[in-house]
Structure 1
Amino acid sequence: MAIFDVAMLRHTPLPFLIHDSAIIKFVGHAPVRELLSVYMQSANLTSRAGEPKQVFFSFDATTAYGQRAEELVAAT
């Protein structure tokens, strides 16, 4: 579901995406770290209004996903 939503963000006029941490509860740590990277890259997308597209993600377990996840969250 998360990847589908990101694809819709990339290929439609949607200006933002909102995800809750519940969608990743049953996903392994390595794929979640990659998903965070994908979320971060979404800032390079531009809406029709010329504004950067945004991803809002409620992420409550950063430390459980390791240092790279912490770095990605801190950077965004």
Structure 2
Amino acid sequence: MKQVTKDQLLSIANERLDAHPHKLEGMRFDDVEQKGNTLLFGGECFFNANGGASEKTPQAIKTYGEIAEDLATQYSMQG
């Protein structure tokens, strides 16, 4: 498993996101932390004005999840 910095991992994740066929306009990874072997990414999930899910939320979460699961098998964060 390759160790990378937080900034490197966010860059890699956003490159993968940009190439993903189901990326929605406005999607971007903006944070990541590591808990054990799990990478927890944060990004726009398109919640509505009341804080609930919009029609875009499920697709955003699915797309983020696919990328995060793949990256977690290849990378870990330094420090």
TM over 0.5: same fold? Answer: no
Q: Structure 1 or 2: larger strand share? A: 2
Higher relative CO (CA 8 A, sep ≥ 6), structure 1 or 2?
Answer: 2
Q: TM-score, normalised by structure 2?
A: 0.30
Q: Structure 1 or 2: larger helix share? A: 1
Q: TM-score, normalised by structure 1?
A: 0.31
